[in-house]
Amino acid sequence: MRECLECGEKIIGRSDKKFCSDMCRNAYNNKLNSDSNNFVRNVNNTLRKNRRILEEACKDDKAKISKASLLREGFDFGFFTNTRTTQKGATYYFVYEFGYLALENDLFLVVKDRKP
């Protein structure tokens, strides 16, 4: 006798059926695909927020913004997805496709990477 992977009810129907209903199938997959712990969820939320702030700051391919403006919006400099160092030694910190580079006088250059 086969049982539903979500609720444990008896399954009637095809031999390869795993769930008793669409509701159980959806509930099972939602649990499986959700951020299973708070740490991952919080990191993802912070990265999304940082990306949104950089996107708003960079309407074109590049823009300059002050550190104070970024902090006022809630930007967290401890969270980024990757770094790139130029041949001249400048390090860009990226949050997905948006990167930022520290300039003089607490200014940051924000760029959008057009590469897929």
| R_g over Cα of the chain | 22
Tens of pLDDT along 67-115?
A: 999 999 999 999 999 999 999 999 999 999 999 999 999 999 999 998 7
- Are 70 and 109 spatial neighbours (Cβ–Cβ below 8 Å)? no
Secondary structure tally for the chain: helices H, strands E: 3, 5
User: Which of the four pLDDT bands, split at 50, 70 and 90, describes residue 35?
Assistant: low
User: Which of the four pLDDT bands, split at 50, 70 and 90, describes residue 1?
Assistant: confident
Query: Which pLDDT score is estimated for 32?
Result: 81
Tens of pLDDT along 12-23?
A: 999 999 999 999
User: What is the C-alpha to C-alpha distance for residues 44 and 71, in angstroms, rounded to an integer?
Assistant: 18
Query: Which pLDDT score is estimated for 16?
Result: 93
Tens of pLDDT along 60-73?
A: 889 999 999 999 99
As a three-state string, the secondary structure of 80-97 is CCEEEECCCCCEEEEECC
Across the range 28-53, mean pLDDT stands at: 86
User: For 107, what's the count of Cα atoms within 13 Å in the CB-facing half-sphere?
Assistant: 8
- Strand order through the sheet with 62-66: 62-66, 107-112, 98-102, 91-95, 82-85
Q: Give the residue extent of every domain in the chain.
A: 22-112
Global confidence as pTM: 0.71
